[in-house]
C-alpha cells in the first residue's frame, strides 16, 4: 500500500512514521525542501533514540527509513492508495490542495484530512468525488498516541469508511468513529477541562497552582489544565476553543476565556515562549499550591461533572458510541478514566444534582444538564450497565 502524506511538520512526519512502521510505502510531500530535510533529520533522531532504548534494532530502523521518500510535487502522489493531509488549519488552503490533488490521483484513491476541528463535509465539497473524502485525526505525537478519530462526512461512502477503519486498525491504533461535528470527540469533550478551570480561576476561587494540584491529586490527571495549556500553547488552545465556540453557534458551554486571550495577545504562549500561566525561566520561583482538601474536592468535582456532562451530551447527540467516547478520552488525551465510566462510578444522580446546583447558583446555560443524564437518573440506569452485566 502506498500512502501519501501532505505536510512534513511534526504531525505529518509522525503519521508517515506510523504508516512506514506498519509496512506501507510512504511519500511525504511539502513545498519547501528545508521542511522535508527537517522531517528526515527528525525521523533519524527518533529512530536512533528507539535503538538506544532497545525498542528497535538497526535493521528495523533502516526498514522504516527505506519505506519513506520525500517529494516536493503533489504529482508525485499520483500512485497513492491513501493520502492524508496534515497542513495548516485553514479551510480555503485545504480545499485548494485537495482540489489539485484530485487531478493527479486515481479515482479510487482515498483523500483524507487530519484536521482537528474543521468540517470534513466542507473539505469534501472541493472534490469532484466527495465520497472518497474522510477525516483521519491523529493525536500528537502520532507514533505514541493510540487513538485515531475517523470522521466520515455526509458525502463519504460506507466503503471508504470501512476501508479506513481497517487500515488504521492494521496500523495498531484504536479507532474512535465520530460524527462530523465541531471538535469531533476529543476537542469537544475536553473543552471544560480548560474552560471550567479558567472560570474557577477568574472567579478568584483558587489560584492556578492550586487548581492544577487539585485535578492531579484527586483526579489522577497527568497534567493540570494550566500546565497542559502551557504545553499545548495558549495560542493554539485558545484558537481551538474560539473555533468550537463559533461552530456551535456561540453556545455558552464553549465560551472562551479573556484570561487566555490576553495571554495569547501578550505572547505568553507557554513553554514554547518561556512564559504562560507559569514562568519557565531558570530563575523562576515555583508556585506553591494551597493544599486545602475541601477546596480541592470542590474544584475537582466541578470540573469533572462538566466533563461528564459534555461526554454525555456527545452521546445524546449520537456523535459517537459510549465506548468510543471513553476510548477517545483515555487514549487520545490520557484521561485516567473514561468520563462515562466515571459518571457511573460517581452516580448519575450525583451528576444531575451537581449540575443543577451550579445552574441554580449561576443561572447560566453553560451549566444545563444533558437530557440523557436526567433521563437516566429517572430510570435508574448507568452508561455501561449492560456491558458490565455481559462481562460478569
DSSP 3-state of 185: coil
**How much of the chain, in percent, has pLDDT values that exceed 90?**
94
Is residue 325 within 8 Å of 317, Cβ to Cβ?
no
φ, ψ of residue 148 to 5 degrees: the values are -135, 120
Alpha helices in 220-256 (DSSP H): 225-232, 234-247
Name which of 2, 132, 185 is nearest 78 in CA terms: 2
The chain-wide mean pLDDT, for the chain, equals 95
Give the number of other CB atoms < 10 A from CB of residue 147. 23
φ, ψ of residue 270 to 5 degrees: the values are 115, -145
Q: Which DSSP category does 273 fall into?
A: G
Judged on CB neighbours under 10 Å (0-12, 13-18, 19+), 218 is middle
Does the active-site annotation cover 149?
A: yes
pLDDT at 327 over 90: yes
Cell numbers given for 152: 466520515
Catalytic residue among 85, 102, 149, 310: 149
**How much of the chain, in percent, has pLDDT values that exceed 70?**
98
Domains of the chain, start order:
2-177 (3.40.50.720), 186-386 (1.10.1040.50)
Is residue 12 within 8 Å of 28, Cβ to Cβ?
yes
Predicted pLDDT at 390: 34
Q: How would you classify the pairing of strands 82-85 and 68-71? A: unpaired
**Which contiguous run of DSSP H or E holds residue 62?**
helix 58-66
How many alpha carbons lie under 13 Å from residue 62 in its C-beta half-sphere? 3
Kindly report, residue by residue over 285-316, the tens digit of the pLDDT.
989 999 999 999 999 999 999 999 999 999 99
The whole-angstrom separation of Cα 160 and Cα 129 is 12
Is residue 289 within 8 Å of 299, Cβ to Cβ?
no
Catalytic residue among 13, 187, 234, 327: 187
Catalytic residue among 116, 119, 234, 327: 116
| Mean pLDDT, rounded, for 199-223 | 97
Give the number of other CB atoms < 10 A from CB of residue 388. 12
Predicted pLDDT at 385: 73
Q: Report the chain's terminal Cα–Cα distance, integer Å.
A: 41
pLDDT at 387 over 70: no
pLDDT at 324 over 70: yes
Catalytic residue among 22, 85, 102, 137: 137
Predicted pLDDT at 381: 93
The whole-angstrom separation of Cα 153 and Cα 100 is 20
pLDDT at 388 over 70: no
Does the active-site annotation cover 116?
A: yes
What's the pTM? 0.92
Q: Worst-scoring range by mean pLDDT, 5-19, 295-309, 343-357, 374-388? A: 374-388
| Mean pLDDT, rounded, for 216-221 | 97
pLDDT at 19 over 80: yes
Predicted pLDDT at 392: 33
Predicted pLDDT at 386: 53
Tell me the CA distances in angstroms from 179 to 186, 189, 206, one per residue in order: 12, 13, 36
φ, ψ of residue 59 to 5 degrees: the values are -65, -45
Kindly report, residue by residue over 63-93, the tens digit of the pLDDT.
999 999 999 999 999 999 999 999 998 999 9
Predicted pLDDT at 65: 97
Is residue 120 within 8 Å of 184, Cβ to Cβ?
no
Does the active-site annotation cover 380?
A: no
Edge-to-edge strand list for the sheet holding 68-71:
68-71, 25-29, 2-6, 82-85, 110-113, 133-138, 147-152, 174-177
Our CA dihedral for 314, 315, 319, 323, rounded to 10 degrees, sits at 120
Amino acid at each position: 500500500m502506498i500512502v501519501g502524506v501532505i505536510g512534513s511538520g511534526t504531525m505529518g512526519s509522525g503519521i508517515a512514521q506510523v504508516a512506514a512502521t506498519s509496512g506501507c510505502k510512504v511519500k511525504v510531500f511539502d513545498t519547501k525542501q528545508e521542511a522535508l530535510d527537517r522531517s528526515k533529520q527528525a525521523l533519524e533522531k527518533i529512530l536512533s533514540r528507539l535503538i538506544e532504548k532497545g525498542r528497535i534494532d538497526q535493521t528495523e530502523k533502516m526498514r522504516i527509513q527505506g519505506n519513506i521518500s520525500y517529494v516536493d510535487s503533489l504529482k508525485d502522489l499520483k500512485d497513492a492508495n491513501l493520502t492524508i493531509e496534515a497542513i495548516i488549519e485553514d479551510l480555503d488552503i485545504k480545499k485548494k490542495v485537495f482540489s489539485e490533488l484530485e487531478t493527479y490521483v486515481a479515482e479510487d484513491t482515498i483523500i483524507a484530512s487530519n484536521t482537528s476541528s474543521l468540517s470534513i463535509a466542507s473539505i469534501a465539497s472541493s472534490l469532484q468525488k466527495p465520497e472518497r473524502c474522510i477525516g483521519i485525526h491523529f493525536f500528537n505525537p502520532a507514533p505514541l498516541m493510540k487513538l485515531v478519530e475517523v470522521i466520515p462526512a455526509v458525502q463519504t461512502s460506507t466503503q471508504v469508511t470501512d476501508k479506513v477503519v481497517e487500515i488504521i486498525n492494521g496500523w495498531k491504533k484504536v479507532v474512535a468513529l465520530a460524527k462530523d461535528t465541531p471538535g469531533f470527540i476529543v476537542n469537544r469533550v475536553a473543552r471544560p477541562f480548560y474552560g471550567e478551570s479558567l472560570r474557577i480561576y477568574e472567579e478568584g476561587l483558587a489560584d492556578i497552582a492550586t487548581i492544577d494540584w487539585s485535578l492531579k491529586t484527586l483526579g489522577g490527571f497527568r497534567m493540570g489544565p494550566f500546565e497542559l495549556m502551557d504545553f499545548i500553547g495558549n495560542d493554539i488552545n485558545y484558537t481551538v476553543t474560539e473555533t468550537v465556540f463559533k461552530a456551535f453557534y456561540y453556545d455558552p458551554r464553549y465560551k472562551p476565556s479573556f484570561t487566555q486571550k490576553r495571554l495569547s495577545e501578550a505572547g505568553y504562549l507557554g513553554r514554547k515562549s518561556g512564559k504562560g500561566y507559569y514562568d519557565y525561566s531558570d530563575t523562576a520561583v515555583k508556585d506553591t499550591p494551597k493544599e486545602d482538601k475541601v477546596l480541592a474536592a470542590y474544584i475537582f468535582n466541578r470540573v469533572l461533572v462538566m466533563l461528564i456532562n459534555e461526554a454525555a451530551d456527545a452521546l445524546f447527540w449520537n456523535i459517537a458510541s459510549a465506548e468510543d467516547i471513553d476510548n477517545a478520552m483515555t487514549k487520545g488525551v490520557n484521561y485516567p478514566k473514561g468520563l462515562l465510566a466515571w459518571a457511573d462510578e460517581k452516580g448519575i444522580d450525583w451528576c444531575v444534582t451537581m449540575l443543577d446546583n451550579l445552574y441554580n447558583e449561576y443561572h447560566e446555560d453553560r451549566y444545563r444538564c444533558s437530557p440523557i443524564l436526567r433521563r437516566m437518573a429517572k430510570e435508574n440506569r448507568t452508561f455501561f450497565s449492560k456491558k458490565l452485566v455481559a462481562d460478569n
